[in-house]
Amino acid sequence: MEPTVLVDRRDGWSVLTLNRPDRLNSFNEEMHRALAEALAGVEADAGCRAVLLTGAGRGFCAGQDLNDRATSGQAPDLGATLDGLYNPLIRRLRALPKPVVCAVNGVAAGAGANIALACDIVLAARSAKFIQSFAKIGLVPDSGGTYALPRLVGAARARGLALLAEPLPADKAEEWGLIWKAVDDAALRPEAEALAAHLATQPTQGLALIKQALDASAGNSLDAQLDLERDLQRRAGRTPDYAEGVRAFIEKRPAKFTGRAE
C-alpha cells in the first residue's frame, strides 16, 4: 500500500504530502501517525531548514474521514480524538523550529482548513476553497479554528465562516488576510517550492525565534511582549547567522547563512 504521507527530502528542505487522494486526503489514525512521524523526522534533521506541506490529487485535506466515525450505538468521545491526534499536530506545527509553507492545492475543509492555517505561510491555488464545515454536522471548529479565525479575519467574518460553513474561495481568503497569497493553479507548486527553498537558505534560528515571538504576542501584554523580544533578541544576537549577516552587510555581499545554533 502507498504510504499515507510522502516525504521528499530536498537540498536543505523537505516536502510532506498528505497521500489519501481517493479520500481527499481526509485524516484517519494511520495518516495522523504518519504525519507525526514525518514532522518529528524533519524537526530532528539538522539538514532540513524548511518544510513544504501539501496534498496529493485534487484536494489538500477534507478534514476527518467520517467513514472512521461510528454513527450508531455509543457516541464517540471526540474530545479524546482532539487530545490524542489533532491538538498535538497543531502544537507541533506551531512549535516546529523551522518555517512551514503550506500549498493548498484544492479543497481545505474542516480540520484540513485549520491545519493549513497552523502553517507559517499559506499559498493556495485559485481553484482552492477553505470551508469551516463543522456546523454542517453539528460540531465546533477545532484544530485551532476558533483561535486562528478571529485573529486572522476578525470577529464578524470568523462567526460567518463558522456558523454558515460556506466555502471561501482562495482569492477572497487572500483579500481577507486568511492566507498569504492565492496563485494560479499551475503556478502553485513551483512558487511554493521556490519559497521553501528560499527559506531553507535563511537564518534558521532567527526564523524560529520569530515564530516564537509572533505566537506569544496574542496572549501577551505590551510589557510582556517587549520583555520577550528582549530575551529572544539576546539569543538571536549570539547566533553565527547574525554575525554573518552583519559581515555580509558591511562587505556588500549576499549572506551565506548556515542555520546553526552555535
Structural domain includes residue 23: yes
Total structural domains within the chain: 2
Report pLDDT for 70.
54
Mean pLDDT of 37-61: 98
User: Residue with C-alpha cell 537558505?
Assistant: 201
Please report the beta strands in the chain, taking only residues with DSSP state E, as ranges in sequence order: 5-9, 14-18, 51-55, 59-61, 100-104, 107-109, 121-125, 129-131, 168-169, 181-183
Q: Are residues 221 and 108 in the same domain?
A: no
Residues in the chain: 262
Quote the cell numbers at residue 65. 474521514
Longest dimension (CA), the chain: 71
Whether residue 153 is found in the same domain as residue 172:
yes
* Co-location of 190 and 211 in the same domain: no
Q: Are 167 and 194 in contact (CB under 8 A)?
A: no
Q: Assess if residue 261 is contained within a domain.
A: no
Task: Report whether 51 contacts 13 (CB < 8 A).
Answer: yes
Is the pLDDT at 198 greater than 90? The verdict is yes
Q: Which domain holds residue 210?
A: 204-251
Q: What are phi and psi of 12, to 5 degrees?
A: 90, 0
Residue 39 in this model has a pLDDT that exceeds 80: yes
pTM for this prediction: 0.96
Are residues 110 and 64 both part of a single domain? yes
**Average pLDDT for residues 142-152, to the nearest whole number?**
98
Same-domain check for residues 131 and 245: no
Residue 217 is placed in which grid cell?
Answer: 504576542
pLDDT in tens, 58-105: 999 999 999 876 555 678 899 999 999 999 999 999 999 999 999 999
Same domain, 76 and 141: yes
| Residue 259 lies inside a defined structural domain of this protein | no
Q: Is 146 exposed, middle or buried (0-12, 13-18, 19+ CB in 10 A)?
A: middle
pLDDT digits (tens, 9 = 90+) for 108-138: 999 999 999 999 999 999 999 999 999 999 9
Tell me, yes or no, whether 96 and 30 share the same domain.
yes
Residues 162 and 36 in one domain: yes
- Regarding whether 153 and 43 lie in a shared domain, the answer is yes
